[in-house]
Amino acid sequence: MNRSPFRNRRPLVATAAAIAFLCGATLAFAWGMTGHKIATKAAVSLVERRLRTFFSANLESLVAFSNEPDVLSKVDSKEVPSHFLDLDLFGESPFVNIPADEKAFVAQFGAEALEKGRLPWAVRDTYDALVRAFEKRNYEEILRNAGHLSHYVADATMPLHATKNYKGQSSGNVIFEGDAPDRHVHVRFEIGMIDAYRDAVEKGMASRFGRVRRIANPAEEAMALLKLSYAYIDPILEADKALLASGEKPTPSYYAGMYDRVGDIAERQLALAATEVASFWTSAWEAGGKPKLPDARVVLVHPPLVEAPLPAPAPQAKVEGTK
């Protein structure tokens, strides 16, 4: 199972049938669709009015683009490394030996090291593409690249995207056999818990937003986010192991326990994601000449790829005497 995602590029040509087939099972996305939606919507609320009116008028498209990289990852395996960087394969925390410059990284660790992640440089590439879109006033490309950038920046704030032990496979956090996504902690934390406690998470984020600021070096900023995120890995793994024994499957009480123990980590990191996304967007807009943007919906020529909805469960037969 891959962790999903991708570097920025135009949407791949893929039939609806192929997408539906490949997306039949939920993969281990960074923050899942709900988390990325939360971070993207919050980021819109943090940017200045001239950006906010444009993004608000196109919020549905922007949110869809923020989740598109996960869909792309299912049809192009080359994109997968762009959503993580296994820091602990290259050193020990605080990872001062890992350069943020891609050429220096390759010179030090070899080109094959990029297979273990290239998220900082996916952020850089997408940021640069967003600057160009602002310069050209290409509104569809602004939405596409802003959505993709939101995804990648948020990925850098998800702790399990900074480690080789991303499923908990080395720490006993894969707790039952089979192909069910929730057999490992990555999905249980970023999707199961967030989906179960979405309202509480959003409320908890409200007091944690930071100040929107200028991003001087996108790759360095993304690398710093990954290194910061790494510190939260052990608490997540430990909470999961304390609440779920080998062979068990997660229940509502398990997710309640996870939220009680590590929900604050999710709230803190998603609030950081929103603040950072808003900062990246604002910096790209300024670098692109601060173009005036419409406060109307953009009709897309190339809509974002989306997952085919899972089939509805068959209706259960009603038993006499039951509601």
Longest dimension (CA), the chain: 71
The tokens describing 119, both together, are 């998220």
Supply the pLDDT for residue 322: 32
Using one digit for the tens of pLDDT, what is the confidence trace for 241-282?
A: 999 998 999 999 999 999 999 999 999 999 999 999 999 999
- First and final CA of the chain: distance in angstroms? 40
Q: Is 112 exposed, middle or buried (0-12, 13-18, 19+ CB in 10 A)?
A: exposed
Using one digit for the tens of pLDDT, what is the confidence trace for 5-44?
A: 222 333 333 333 333 333 333 344 578 999 999 999 999 9
Supply the pLDDT for residue 29: 57
Supply the pLDDT for residue 28: 45
What are residue 85's DSSP bridge partners? Answer: 117
The dihedral of CA 166, 170, 173, 177: what is its sign? positive
Average pLDDT over residues 127-150: 98
Record the pTM: 0.87
What is the rounded average pLDDT for all residues in the chain? 88
Question: Which class is 32-287 in CATH?
Answer: mainly alpha
Residue 276 C-beta-side C-alpha neighbours within 13 Å: 30
User: In 3-state terms, the chain is what percent helix, strand and coil (to 5)?
Assistant: 60, 0, 40
Residue 248 C-beta-side C-alpha neighbours within 13 Å: 16
CB 281 within 8 A of CB 212: no
The dihedral of CA 26, 30, 35, 41: what is its sign? negative
Percent of all residues in the chain with a pLDDT value above 70, rounded to a whole number: 86
Helices (H), 47-101: 49-57, 59-72
Average pLDDT over residues 81-86: 96
**Residue 183: which of 232, 115, 253, 254 has the closest Cα?**
254
Supply the pLDDT for residue 177: 83
Percent of all residues in the chain with a pLDDT value above 90, rounded to a whole number: 80
With cut-offs at 50, 70 and 90, classify the pLDDT of residue 90: very high
Q: What is the CA radius of gyration of the chain?
A: 20
**pLDDT score of 109 more than 50:** yes
pLDDT top residue among 48 and 2:
48
**pLDDT score of 145 more than 50:** yes
